[in-house]
Structure 1
Amino acid sequence: MPGDERGASAIEFALASLPVFFLIIMTIEFALDMTVDVTVQIAAQAASRAGLTMSLPADGTSRADQAEKIAKQYLGNWVNAGGTLTVTQLDYVSFSNFGVSGYNAGSGPGNCGDVEMYTIQLTMPSFTGLSKWLGRPTLNYQRNYIVQNEECAS
């Protein structure tokens, strides 16, 4: 009937609730993404402290293994939630080799005074699935840190 407004508020709610629901989901996804990103940053800072020494860890593992162990302590919950953690180490010998075209950085602990670059990367699926809709099926978080091995005592 003309002038009958029954049900109008239900239709208005249906139209308005979709964008509001979408904004809530986006906010949750963004907050979780930022939390993971900060956790990767904290893991890199903690692992970089372990990479500053020339001596190998007492348990016989490499510094890259030690960095991965430290990263797992901080990022273990995200790995358990479906993430994949990768820690790599490159030996650049000196700071002057960074960014040099054609320079092939070696892997391994390096020598006394060598410059090492560690990369911590965490790849995980989207929390809410929203990223998949936007064309990003996985989320990648990465931090690099550079340390110089201690000089050897003469």
Structure 2
Amino acid sequence: MALPLDIPKLLSLDEAARRREAARQAGEKVVLTNGCFDLLHTGHLYFLKEAAKQGDRLYVALNGDASVQALKGPTRPVQSEQERAYLMGSLPFIDTLVIFHTPRLTREIEALRPDLYVKAGDYNLGSLNPEEHAALDACGAEIRFLPFLQGYSTTSLIAKIRAAADTF
């Protein structure tokens, strides 16, 4: 039986939008990023720490379980959205988490109206979804791509674990 996980940084979209508005009123720069963050690894931590340095508050939109499965396939996610949110919420440089269940982040962008949207350097303007890009433009968000730490991915980590399991 799973233990209930206390995740104070995990908010509904409405509550996150209220906090975001308070941050705006306080003159704070809000950074938004998103991802699956299925098995938290060095590449994720590097990116998230760099993202947090770009502003005063880091908001992370976490793909829900169905969204991860649609993106990554039937064997993913490895960890549930609640487990992933618990891990992410334990990181001191993340201020707010929201879980989204749709294929696109458009609704979250429109509600949160970030000052800055960041993705890792394995993305570029051409690979951003046009609907999400339009929502970012409409709210005046700057889009920035941060350095990508080569050699770190959840897929490669899963492959290493499988290879190690085959030796037992």
Larger Rg: 1
TM-score, normalised relative to structure 1:
0.26
TM-score, normalised relative to structure 2:
0.24
